[in-house]
Amino acid sequence: MGDQTSEPIKTRRVFYIPGYDPIHPRRYRELYRKESKAQGEISGYTVALAPKTTDGPYGWRVDSQIDDVETQTDFEVLVWSDIVRVSMDQGILATYGLLIRTAWTYIATGALFRLMRLRKGPVIAALYPVVFLLVQLQLALLAGYGLFRLIGMFAPWWVGLAGFAIVPLLLNWFKARDNKFFAYYLMHDYAYSASTKGSNPPELEARMAEFVDHIAEALAGDVDEVLVIGHSSGAHLAVSVISDLLRAGQVKPDGPVLSFLSLGQVVPMVSFLPDAKRLRMDLNYLAAREEVFWLDVTAPGDGCAFALCDPVSVTGVAPEGKRWPIVISAAFTQTLSPARWKALRWRFFRLHFQYLCAFDRPKDYDYFQITAGPKSLRGRFEGRKASRSRIEDPVNKFTEMG
């Protein structure tokens, strides 16, 4: 392509890599449909969804008219929800075993204490399922003991032991309502990476190779921009996928613009683990590549993300000539009205998805203009200074790459 900052984007392929999510990707289509309509009404542009026109993963087409330019975008979700569901398909006892092993991994390696030097919010989010699952167990055991004592008042002590039968019933009751508590979900999320001390399990590496093939096909096609989006733990997958594309020579000078948008990233939760050598190598590699434009967007109001933490620098693998990422804030307290912020402030899981939603006081970050508008990511943010309050201190102990 020619000048990446001036030529309007008429056609685009977007590849969205979700975080650790067991739900079918149609939820992202419905979220996009609802929130793009809301943002269009606020910002004065038109975005319409239609069935996808390309083969491959689940997705949809977006037709937009923004700044008097019509743009067509094919949006695809790179699915690994089936892998997530398999990893979550464990019983209550197995989950408590994961709790012990995961806590031990982060504590024994020192990763937990180094992560706390960055942001306490995501560390608290990581500790929440540990504490809440232990509270559930304690409540169930107390209930069992209470029944034991009550029955023991009228029957021999060994009959009273039947009271402890309530323990598994209560634990199952808590688990059945995890869509409100998120304790089991978050426990399995953190345990997935911790179980391999940061290396990618074979099934995930295989799926990432499929992602590389899908994106490579788009880069060989006749579109103006290929935009890869990694949200939450999907951000560190995207780092490795894009690095693999670049190493394989899939990004051509005369091909589509390649852009990378990381949102609400939790990269340090993985890169600070001892065996995350592949991720650290990819962070080091990608941070200096001129073939891609990488923007990292987080917000201090998102307690589940490492807000304004440069994932390359804090991991301790910043290369000479580092270019990326440009770290900026979505500034929830400024881009959401006081009433909207008040309504969402304590809904931590919902706030973690705010990057994919409408803002009633938008500034330069607009998810729908980025994914469906006439400017490339580089064209929209070229020259944008990184946040002055970003964190770049290299606090990671493990910096080996390979």
Model pLDDT for residues 300-347, shown as the tens digit of each residue: 999 999 999 999 999 999 999 999 999 999 999 999 999 999 999 999
- For residue 78, count other CB atoms closer than 10 A to its CB: 27
Q: Is residue 76 part of a domain?
A: no
How far apart CA 207 and CA 186 sit, in angstroms, is: 22
- For residue 153, count other CB atoms closer than 10 A to its CB: 7
How far apart CA 87 and CA 361 sit, in angstroms, is: 39
Model pLDDT for residues 17-44, shown as the tens digit of each residue: 999 999 989 999 999 999 999 999 999 9
Q: Is residue 110 part of a domain?
A: yes
Q: How many domains does the chain have?
A: 1
Would you say 166 and 158 are in contact if contact means Cβ atoms under 8 Å apart?
Answer: no
Range of the domain at 138: 87-194
Residue 1's pLDDT band, with cuts at 50, 70 and 90, is: very low
Q: Is residue 273 part of a domain?
A: no
Residue 80 pLDDT > 80: yes
Q: Is residue 144 part of a domain?
A: yes
Q: Is residue 95 part of a domain?
A: yes
Would you say 239 and 283 are in contact if contact means Cβ atoms under 8 Å apart?
Answer: yes
HSE-CB at 162 with a 13 A cutoff on CA atoms is: 8
Q: Is residue 377 part of a domain?
A: no
Q: Is residue 109 part of a domain?
A: yes
DSSP-based three-state secondary structure for 217: helix
How far apart CA 295 and CA 292 sit, in angstroms, is: 10
Residue 10 pLDDT > 60: yes
Q: Is residue 386 part of a domain?
A: no
Residue 4 pLDDT > 60: no
pTM: 0.94
Average pLDDT on 69-88 reads 96
Model pLDDT for residues 134-167, shown as the tens digit of each residue: 999 999 999 988 888 888 778 776 666 777 888 9
310 Cβ partners below 8 Å, 6+ apart? 296, 318, 325, 327, 386, 390, 391, 392
Q: Which of 2-16, 112-126, 233-247, 346-360 has the lowest mean pLDDT?
A: 2-16
